Chain A
Amino acid sequence: MHLPDHEFVKPATLADSLALLRSASGEIKLIAGGTDVVYNMRGRLFQPDILLSVRDLAELQGVADTTAGGIRIGAGIRLTDLEHEPRVAAYPALVTAGRAVASRHVRNMATLGGNLCLDTRCWYTNQTAEWRQAKGPCLKNGVAVCHAIKSASVCVALNASDIAPALIALNADITLANVDGERRLPLTDFYTDDGVTHTIRDADELLVAIDLPAPSGRTVFIKETARKGNDFSYAVIAAGGEVAGQRVTGLRIVLGCLTTRPLSLQEPVRIIETRGLTDEAIDVAAAAARDELGPLTNLYTPAAYKSSLARSLVRQALRELRDATP
């Protein structure tokens, strides 16, 4: 299927891009590596008037040390470069998560910012326009119908980013910019529970950078897929914390791809921080994870499996966190 008609613009600077985002009439879609946007435009999921390329903006490139001892990563960094960037090596969960995305070919094009903004996925919607006709439009097209959960009033399409959970577990912040200035917020607050407007990014804003605090403690990242590579995830988990024997503080456990947003678990964290990383406590924490996931869909995998996979991943991640050699 050919791309729908659109205007393609590629401003030379960040300032020009932000100005255009504010002033342009019609719908604008941002494109960086294009690995998701182009595919979805072919399926008529997006039909923007303007495609604004931020791929080569110098302001979005590079990795720099921060005064806090951490690093600031430009949102435009290609995933392949992310893997090889020496400063990033201090955050192994991020490297592992970056490498888990799709294939080498895709990672050569795809950017970190693009991965964090990946559109949510649903197998009723992520089809060609012709295919979607059979079931008819849904919340993604502005019609109050959800094919995945009949009673849903908001879109329940799944978050698709492998990297977001890893960054959230690393306590990452992001910076959004518009012509008026910048705002910085924890990445975990970037996402919403609505698959249509699944981030809080305003239409005139651009994700420009990701900030990581100084590396500390241990982190783990696990991806479950149908096959060993080049695939969206059934589920991912990232966890991090200061581990001393069975004691752990500052624990973060983040599940991805099971729901509309990456989910930072609360009760399992409380259980482990209180009781320590014993086998018994890990089992209790894993069992508690299900309650925080909310309604689960049958998208791509059955709901019952999603909940069993969440339990199993929490168990695996916590054991790895405990047993990893420091």
Chain B
Amino acid sequence: MAAKPEQQLSIIGRRQPRVDGFDKVTGRSEFTDDIRLPGMLYGKILRSSQPHARIARIDTSRAEALPRVKAVVTNRDAPDLMFSEHQHVLAQDVVRYVGEEVAAVAAVDLLTAEEALELIEVEYEPLPNVTTVRQALKNDAPCLHERAPGNIGPTMDQDWGDPDRGFAESDRIIEDEFRTPMQHNTLAELHVALADFSNPEKLHLYTPTQGAPLYQMELARGFGLAESQVRIVYRNIGGAFTGRGRPKPHHFVAALLSRKAGRPVKIKATADEEFIMFRASGETLYKFRTGVTHDGTIKALEADITFDAGGHDEWAMILWLPSIYLNWLYKPVGVRYKGRFVFTNTVPKGSHHGGIMGRMSAGWQQHITRVAEVLGMDPAELQLKNAVDPGYESPDGSVFASCGLKECIETVVERSDWRNKHGKLPKYRGIGIGIGAQASGSKGADNDTSAAMVKIAADGVVTLYTGIPDMGQGSHTVMCMIAAEVLGTEPEKIRVVQGDSDITPFDWGAFAQRGTFTTGNAVKAACEDAREQLAVIAGRELDEDPASLMFRHGRVQSASDPDKVMSFGEVAAKTLHSVEGRFVMGRGFFNSPKPFGALAFSFGAQIAEVEVDPETGAVAVLKVWAAHDIGRAINRLAVEGQLDGQVFSGMSQVLYEECKVEDGLILNPSRLEYKLPRTYELPAVDYSLVETIDPYGPFGAKEVGEGPIVVSMSAVAAAVQNAVGALVPEIPMTPWRIKRMLRATADGSTDVGKHWSEGLE
């Protein structure tokens, strides 16, 4: 095939409105809760009201006797059904958090299900509980799990390079502490699962997901089925932000109820229940340590992080995620990382938008800013001096084939007028810089495969089969643009078939910012395969070498003789109706050749300017300058949307969001009391794209799905740090914490973090 010269790109890089936009804004798009199957029942889960208790007795007889109730389940119905290694789907003897799944009912309508729930009698024998990390780590603290003495769960302790030598070569070693609270993603679409297990040989599960395979695997494992006996169906998805990566207990419960009732069962979260179902990120305590020479060369980095796992360790990946940030930004001699899970009687924890890295980065980049201040250096200069370059191999073995980090830093410094602002702003104004890196896809415990298929009908209509979900990030629009570019047609002429694991080819899904990069490469390969099939007949018709044909603007034409041309549809029709009768079906897949880790890395820098109101302590983000190396912008409109959304969500996590937890109970489980900013509080964002054209990405593209938020969080945090004159040791930086900072720094103290204790409220 003729490689398309880059300058001839006609679709990639344009501002493409979403292919699903019209249906979304006109209310036509179908979501899981819109699906109603014949005979469908409504399920409700009875949750523990106790943070820690032994279940002495459960009596479901009154619920079972209620007319219109079709199934009631407790652990007795499925004593071996495990959610994770040590965790039952329905609590067996002991509940370990308020909200733990204890029993469930399915009834013909929701009101009956709610009524039945109230008729289930559970007798608890309360056990002593611990609901904060600090409590759990006390010597005499009650223990949640026999397997975890001292409430210490899984740990990780790893060095990359030679951190001891790095610290030894340092002139200064700077240490800081930081804390992030429990936070929640508040997805637009509440959690919902519709299971049809009425045929015990096949489980159909309709649910929003980031990817079908993990759901298939885990449900198959749980119910003793082969993976092909589990079908995952999804429609449009109202956000995921790490929250729909793998099935949650309610998916298993819906299936269990359906199997028992012999009818489909839907379970949908209520607004407050969502705060339990989600498994959001928990309280986390950080210690940062950086070794640096007098001239500002970073020699060694260390982070020691304690995570509140909640009542169960559901998601071990959280443990190592932050370590990648220590490896990917600077060029230290060595990196040391320690992580540990601590069990508490609170909801099991997962992640939040920005992974675990965004939250850490809000503290870590303040720490790096403080390193610069200790050295008397400009923080932007320190970043620039130490930033990684193209071709760099990090201590953890990642190689940056393309890298525009330095250009990103230079761009935001220039555009924000940093040099005339930093250190020169009026009192209560602040400016801060944050940088970040993110992988495009990642190979870890399993492979990193995406597959795609296209078929081209005789009228030239292209149907793309993909297993990548669109949770709102615009992935389907990007896939249509890639397909249209390769085939020389328009994105609007591509139909996407998605959302059914019985039909669509394998795709791990939308994890680890892999959609554009990995699925994009698979779609590109599938379309190139189809184009090759079309070129055979087109070449014969036009009497041209198939390899020299150009597919552009809905036409197939000779590169040398513009008069030799056919329409795209005509070629498809001639191919089908040729003597051979070929029907065009292209297939492609992509899997990184690396055995572990990622192939491409994106980089970014942001500068935020903020103003603190000394009277009320409120922080206003005035403007954010963002520069990101994303390889290539496939859809510039979507890239800007991603930047807006991530600046907004990053600002929200740093300044607003916090689950107020007392005795294991979330006190603000609603969108009224879990304070999120409104969209009109989004600051002005100045976008700059640094297009480094990655050698492995489709048309050179890397990710923009999660890289920016990590940077936003650090830039906003560093700007507030600059405005109040000291590292802010905790997020969210609420008005009361800012007031406290202002009091603490009134005497010129710049080191208030060490004296920051719990109990402010």
In the bound complex, what is the Cα–Cα distance between A133 and B53 (angstroms)? 14
Contact for A298 among B617, B680, B761, CB less than 8 A: B761
CB-CB under 8 A for A134 and B663, given A301-B736, A316-B615: yes
Is B669 an interface residue when CB atoms closer than 8 A count as contact? yes
Residues 301-326 (chain A) with a chain B CB within 8 angstroms: 301-305, 308-309, 312, 315-316
Query: Within 8 Å of chain A (Cβ to Cβ): is B711?
Result: no
The reply on B540 being an interface residue by CB < 8 A is: no
| B735 partner, pick from A127, A130, A229, A305, beta carbons under 8 A | A305
* A-B interface, 6 closest residue pairs, ranked by CB to CB distance from nearest: A305-B736, A302-B761, A226-B675, A133-B49, A312-B615, A123-B667
Of B617, B665, B676, B760, the residue contacting A227 (CB under 8 A) is B676
Taking A123-B660, A123-B667 as contacts, is the C-beta distance between A131 and B736 under 8 angstroms?
no
Question: Are A130 and B47 within 8 A (Cβ)?
Answer: yes
A105 proximal to B (CB < 8 A): no
A221 CB → nearest B CB, Å? 15
* A304 and B665 contact, CB distance less than 8 A: no
CA distance A298 to B760 in the complex (A): 11
Q: Could you say which of B49, B663, B673 contacts A123, with CB atoms under 8 Å apart?
A: B673
Q: Which of A134, A224, A298, A300 is in CB contact (< 8 Å) with B98?
A: A134
Give bound CA distance, A182 to B477, whole Å.
66
B653 at the interface (CB under 8 A from A): no
Q: Are B49 and A305 in contact (CB under 8 A)?
A: no
* Count of chain B residues near A, Cβ 8 A: 35
User: Closest Cβ of chain B: how far from A315's Cβ, in Å?
Assistant: 7
A230-B110 contact given A134-B665, A301-B736, A304-B760, CB 8 Å threshold: no
- Report whether B98 and A232 are in contact in the complex, using a CB–CB cutoff of 8 Å: no
Q: Are A308 and B739 in contact (CB under 8 A)?
A: yes
Interchain CB contact (< 8 A) of A131 among B272, B678, B735, B760:
B272
Partner of A309, one of B114, B616, B663, B673: B616
B49 cross-chain contacts in A, Cβ below 8 A: 130, 133-134
Asked whether any CB of chain B lies closer than 8 Å to the CB of A150, the reply is no
Report B541-599 residues with CB < 8 Å from chain A CB: none
- Residue ID in chain B nearest A225 by CB atoms: B675
Bound together, the chains give a CA A227 to CA B678 distance in angstroms of 7
Question: A135 to chain B: which residues have CB within 8 Å?
Answer: 663, 665
- Interface presence of B317 (CB below 8 A): no
1/0 per residue A119-139: CB within 8 Å of B? 000011001101101110000
Chain A residues contacting B25 (CB-CB under 8 Å) are: none
Cβ contact within 8 Å between B660 and A304: no
Q: When each residue 462-483 of chain B gets 1 if its CB lies under 8 Å from chain A and 0 otherwise, what string results?
A: 0000000000000000000000
Residues of chain A touching chain B, judged by Cβ–Cβ distance below 8 Å, are: 1-2, 123-124, 127-128, 130-131, 133-135, 224, 226-232, 234, 298, 300-305, 308-309, 312, 315-316
Take A133-B49, A301-B736 as given contacts and tell me if A232 and B660 are in contact as well, using a CB distance cutoff of 8 Å. no
Q: Which residue of B lies closest to A226 (CB)?
A: B675
**B50 and A315 contact, CB distance less than 8 A:** no
B295 within 8 A of A: no
Rounded to whole angstroms, the CA-CA distance of A133 and B98 in the bound complex is 10
Chain B nearest CB, measured from A223 CB (Å): 11
Q: Convert B726-758 into 0s and 1s, putting 1 for each residue whose CB lies closer than 8 angstroms to a CB of A.
A: 000000000110010000000000000000000
**Residues of chain B lying within 8 A (CB to CB) of residue A134:** 49-51, 98, 663-665
| B672 A231 Cβ-Cβ under 8 A | yes
* A227 touching B111 in the complex, CB below 8 Å, given contacts A1-B270, A124-B667, A131-B669: no
A230 to B681, CA, bound (A): 13
**Inter-chain contacts of A131 with B (CB < 8 A):** 272, 665, 669
Question: In the complex, what residues of A have CB within 8 A of residue B270's CB?
Answer: 1, 128
Residue of B nearest to A131 (CB): B272
B656 interface residue, CB < 8 Å from A?
yes
Residues of chain A contacted by B615 (CB below 8 angstroms): 312, 315-316
Contacts of B616 in A (CB 8 A): 224, 309, 312
Q: Which residues of B contact A128 (CB under 8 A)?
A: 270, 272
Contact residues in A for B272 (Cβ distance below 8 Å)? 127-128, 130-131
The answer, yes or no, to whether B645 is at the interface (CB within 8 Å) is no
Given contacts A2-B111, A302-B760, A304-B760, 18 further A-B contacts (CB under 8 A): A123-B673, A127-B272, A127-B669, A128-B272, A134-B49, A134-B50, A134-B51, A134-B98, A227-B675, A227-B681, A228-B681, A229-B678, A234-B735, A300-B673, A301-B735, A308-B736, A312-B615, A316-B615
B646-658 to A contact mask, C-beta < 8 Å, 1/0:
0000000000100
Chain B residues, Cβ within 8 Å of A305: 617, 735-736, 739
Tell yes or no: B677 within 8 A of A by CB: yes
Annotate B439-459 by CB proximity to A: 1 below 8 A, 0 otherwise: 000000000000000000000
Q: Which residues of A contact B675 (CB under 8 A)?
A: 226-227, 231
**Which residues of chain B have C-beta atoms less than 8 A from A231's C-beta?**
672, 675
User: Is B87's CB within 8 Å of the partner chain A?
Assistant: no
Q: Which residues of B contact A298 (CB under 8 A)?
A: 761
**Binary per-residue interface labels of chain B (33-55) against chain A in the complex, 1 for a CB within 8 Å, 0 otherwise:** 00000000000000101110000
What is the bound-complex CA distance between A232 and B674, given in angstroms?
12
Alpha-carbon separation in the docked complex, A123 to B761 (Å): 15
Asked if B668 is at the interface (CB within 8 A of a chain A CB), the reply is yes
Min C-beta distance of A124 to chain B, whole Å: 7
- Complex Cα spacing A229 to B681, Å: 10
Separation in Å of the A232 CB from the closest CB of chain B? 7
B754 → A minimal CB distance (Å): 21
Greatest chain A CB density within 10 A among B50, B615, B664, B669 is at: B615
Q: From A134, A230, A298, A315, name the one whose CB has the most chain B CB atoms within 10 angstroms.
A: A134
Report B609-644 residues with CB < 8 Å from chain A CB. 615-618
* Interface pairs (6), CB distance under 8 Å: A2-B114, A128-B270, A134-B49, A226-B656, A228-B677, A229-B680
Measured between beta carbons, the chain B residues less than 8 angstroms from A228 are 677-678, 680-681
A310 to nearest B CB, angstroms?
11
Rounded to whole Å, the gap between the CB of B67 and the closest CB of chain A is: 17
Q: Find chain A residues with CB under 8 A from B680 CB.
A: 228-229
Q: How far does the alpha carbon of A1 sit from the alpha carbon of B272 in the complex, in Å?
A: 11
Q: What residue in chain A is nearest B668 (Cβ atoms)?
A: A123
A309→B735 CA distance, assembly (Å): 10
A230 to B678, CA, bound (A): 9
CA distance A227 to B761 in the complex (A): 20
Whose C-beta in chain A lies nearest to the C-beta of B667?
A123
Distance A251 CA – B556 CA, assembled complex (angstroms): 83
Which of B98, B617, B665, B739 has the largest count of A CB atoms less than 10 A from its CB?
Answer: B665
Which residue among B617, B656, B677, B736 has the maximum number of chain A CB atoms within 10 Å of its CB? B736
Q: How far is the CA of A312 from the CA of B270 in the complex (A)?
A: 38
Taking the closest CB of chain B, its distance from the CB of A123, in whole angstroms, is 5
- Using CB atoms, name the residue of chain B closest to A222: B616
Residues of chain A within 8 A of B51, CB atoms compared? 134
Bound complex: CA A305 to CA B761 (Å): 8
Cβ-closest chain A residue relative to B618: A224
Encode contact with A along B251-270: 1 for CB under 8 Å, 0 otherwise. Answer: 00000000000000000001
* Most chain B C-beta atoms within 10 Å of own C-beta, residue among A131, A133, A234: A131
**In the bound complex, how far is the Cα of B672 from the Cα of A123, in angstroms?**
11
Question: Considering the chains assembled together, what is the distance between the CA atoms of A177 and B253 in angstroms?
Answer: 54
Query: How far is B736's CA from A237's CA once the two chains are assembled, in angstroms?
Result: 18
**B736–A232 touching, CB < 8 Å:** no
Chain B residues whose C-beta falls within 8 Å of the C-beta of A124 in the assembled complex: 667
Chain B residues whose CB sits within 8 angstroms of the CB of A302 once the complex forms: 736, 760-761
- Chain B nearest CB: distance from A321 CB in Å? 16
A305 to B741, CA, bound (A): 12
1/0 per residue, CB under 8 A from A, across B401-429: the answer is 00000000000000000000000000000
Taking the closest CB of chain A, its distance from the CB of B662, in whole angstroms, is 8
Q: Within 8 Å CB of B669, what residues of A?
A: 127, 131
B670 to chain A: closest residue by CB:
A127
Give the docked Cα–Cα distance between A308 and B673 (Å): 21
Chain B residues with CB under 8 Å of A224's CB are 616, 618
Q: Complex Cα distance A168/B322, Å?
A: 54
Nearest-neighbor residue (CB-CB) of A312 within chain B: B615
A177 to B272, CA, bound (A): 39
- How far does the Cβ of B266 sit from chain A's closest Cβ, in whole Å? 16
